[in-house]
Amino acid sequence: MRRLRVLLYEAPENPYMNLAFEEAFARLRAAGIIPDTLRIWRNRRAVIIGYFQRAEEEVHLDEARRLGVAVARRFTGGGAVYHDLGNINYAIALGPSPESTRDPIGYLYNYLVRGALNALRILGLNPHLENINDIAVGDHKVSGVAASYRWNAPFLHGALLVSTDLKVLSSILKVSKKKLEDKRVSSVKYRVTLIKELLGRPVSYSEVVEALVRGYGELLGAEAYYDLPWPEELEAARILYEHKYRLEEWNLRRTPAYRFREAERLFSELVAGAR
């Protein structure tokens, strides 16, 4: 039977490290160094912006600073999200398959996202996909996903709003007037709710972890097993953290990924050595 490695590795106090690890394990899976992996992780307080966004256009930076909320940029497109410990992130990195190679976008947004839908069903909800990358229950959004195949292997991550402080979220994220005006588009994005509200009871971290693990296990027809980070993952994360994710050029200035030459050089060396 197919196996799915599960990793609960997280660095909640350091969102830059969390995102460096995210890229590390995605790329090491694409390079065939680690097996198929589902990672579940959290940040204590951070705004994560999309690869094509500019921080000051999406975040009230003074307010973020005042509240001690870090602003970090991820390697996938899409919009800004607020993370606290009530928001649980899932990330899945697989090897390439004939299906994912033939139609990567369909594979990511129509298929791979369904592990998270399974998880919500396991929790007792009736979720559906909306606007390509939103997961909603009724007319409220509970999760948003972003995906990539930039290293020629499928990668998808998303954020589950379990018990996030929505007051902080709305005081920190900027919303474009254009978006609020536009009636063509479902504004589910701006009608977010929490899983604990939908269920009418507290929901624990471990309950969500189990649901995600089962949800992805069922989707992939795989047996899940828990693992620790491999030395290669930690080393790759350290490289990407040091030479990219901790830097303002990356987080605040919308610098293209390829400009971080030292990160790329050291990462390539690590991959060559691991092969």
Partner 1 sequence: MLGRGVFEVKARKGLIRVEAVVREGRVESVSIRGDFFLYPEDSLWMVEEKLRGVGVEEAPRRLEQLIGELGVRLVGAEPRDFAEALRGALRRAEEG
Task: For residues 31 and 171, give the distance between their C-alpha atoms in angstroms, rounded to a whole number.
Answer: 40
Which one of residues 184, 201, 261, 275 is an interface residue with partner 1 (CB under 8 A)?
184
The answer to whether residue 80 forms part of the interface with partner 1 (CB under 8 A) is yes
CB of 82 vs partner 1, minimal distance in Å: 14
CB of 127 vs partner 1, minimal distance in Å: 18
**C-alpha 139: how far from its chain's center?**
22
Burial (Cβ within 10 Å: 0-12, 13-18, ≥19) of residue 267: buried
The answer to whether residue 261 forms part of the interface with partner 1 (CB under 8 A) is no
Task: For residues 119 and 38, give the distance between their C-alpha atoms in angstroms, rounded to a whole number.
Answer: 13
Task: For residues 136 and 197, give the distance between their C-alpha atoms in angstroms, rounded to a whole number.
Answer: 13
> Which pairs from 254-263 meet CB under 8 Å and 24+ separation?
254/52, 254/53, 254/54, 254/55, 254/73, 257/51, 257/75, 263/239
Task: For residues 187 and 166, give the distance between their C-alpha atoms in angstroms, rounded to a whole number.
Answer: 17
CB of 245 vs partner 1, minimal distance in Å: 16
CB of 141 vs partner 1, minimal distance in Å: 13
Which one of residues 3, 67, 77, 99 is an interface residue with partner 1 (CB under 8 A)?
77
Q: Which residues of 138-155 are buried (b: 16+ CB within 10 A; e: fewer)?
A: eeebbbbbbbbbbbebbb
Q: Select 79 or 95, whichever has its Cβ closest to partner 1.
A: 79
CB of 186 vs partner 1, minimal distance in Å: 10
Q: Select 129 or 234, whichever has its Cβ closest to partner 1.
A: 129
Half-sphere exposure of residue 126, counting CA atoms within 13 Å on the CB side?
2
Contact flags string 20-59 toward partner 1, x per CB under 8 A? ------------------------------xxxxx--x--
Q: Select 52 or 225, whichever has its Cβ closest to partner 1.
A: 52
Binding site for partner 1 (CB under 8 A): 50-54, 57, 75-80, 104-105, 109, 131-133, 146-150, 176, 178-179, 182, 184-185, 254, 256-258
